[in-house]
Amino acid sequence: MSNERGYTLAEMMVVCAIVGLVMASLLGLVMTGQRAYWYGTTQVDAQQTARVAVERMVKEIREAGYYPQAPTPITTGACATMLCYQYSFDAIGNSPSATSLTLQYDWNGDGVSAASGKVNDPILCATGSGCRGERITYSFSGGALTRQEVGVDSSPLTIASGITSLAFTYLAADGTVTSTPSEIRTIGVSVTAQTDTKGAYVTMSDRIRLRNR
């Protein structure tokens, strides 16, 4: 025990120098790791953003054109030799574009897709009161994806930001591109998100067949 009289200043300085050298080299590693972590974080953010945007839209696009009552068959013209049905409204509203579209439904089964106000959806609305709008507009501009449900949202609500590009494509039953609402049977969605200028970007794409048309 009598030999443990502490360290000399010289010893301490040598130790500090060695530790300093080790720490300096470790700092480089830590900074590299930190950069990788930050990049990973931006990738996660971008992925989350793209996911939110795509998941939300895909579900609602799948249900577009909901028309519970049996539609009237058409047997004239080109429909004499193929199966056609007469719907009172199209699944997609007028003038769909690459960055905007309106989805139309008939939640209350009255045969029309109301352009305003809330309607009663027997499954989702409690006690028969109106709680859903029958038209939903998705629009992309200025890096943000907005959604507006008529009767429910007074203005478009941003559901995802940090989106660098978004594109809708519209396909008819035979797979050809169309912009005529009544012909649309499948919709392609492609979303690219980048939440930081120098961060990672993620692109997600999906094709959705309209289940009700």
Partner 1 sequence: MNRISTWIRDERGVALPLAMILLMVLTLMTITFMSLGAVEPQISKNLSDAARARQLAESGIEWAMSTQIGNQDLNSSTLLGGTMTTGGACGTGNTCRVLATAGTLPGLTSSAGTFAVTLRNDLNTNAGDQQLIGTNVTRDSSTTVDSNGLVILTSTGTYNGAVRSITAVVSRGNLNINAAVSLPGVQTDTYTDAPPCSGCYSIDGRDWKLADTSSPTGATPTKLGIATYTGTETNTGLSYEANAEAGFDSSAKRGYVQGKDVNDGSGDASGTGRRTIAADSSLTPTIIQNFVSNLAANPLTQVLNSTQACQYSSGSSSKPEGLRMQSTSTANVVTVKNNCSGADQINQTVNLGTATSPALLYIKGEFDPSSNFIGLAVSGSQNITGYGILVVEEADLSFFQTSQFKWNGIVIVTGRNVGVGFRANSNTEIRGALIANETYGAEAGGYFEFLNQAATMKIRYGKEAIDLALRGLYNTRISGYREN
Q: Which is nearer to partner 1, 27 or 177 (CB)?
A: 27
User: How many Cβ atoms sit within 10 Å of the Cβ of residue 161?
Assistant: 14
Only segment of 15-23, 76-84, 134-142, 174-182 that touches partner 1 (CB under 8 A): 76-84
Residue pair 84/73 in contact (Cβ under 8 Å)? The answer is yes
78 lies in the site for partner 1, by CB under 8 A:
no
For partner 1, the binding residues in 12-71 under the rule CB under 8 A are: 44, 48, 51, 55, 59, 62-63, 66-71
Nearer to partner 1, 20 or 122 (CB): 122
| Residue 159 to residue 155: CA distance in whole angstroms | 12
Least distance to partner 1, CB of residue 83, Å? 5
Burial of 139 (0-12, 13-18, 19+ CB in 10 A): middle
- The residues, any chain, with a CB within 8 Å of residue 166's CB and separated by 6 or more, are 53, 99, 140, 145, 189, 190, 191, 192
Binding-residue pattern over the window 83 to 122 for partner 1, x denoting contact by CB under 8 A = xxx---------------------xxxxx--------xxx
Q: Which of 5, 24, 28, 174 binds partner 1 (CB under 8 A)?
A: 5
Q: Which of 134, 140, 139 is nearest to 117 (CA)?
A: 134
Judged by the rule CB under 8 A, the positions of this chain that interact with partner 1 are 4-7, 44, 48, 51, 55, 59, 62-63, 66-75, 79-85, 107-111, 120-124, 128, 211-212
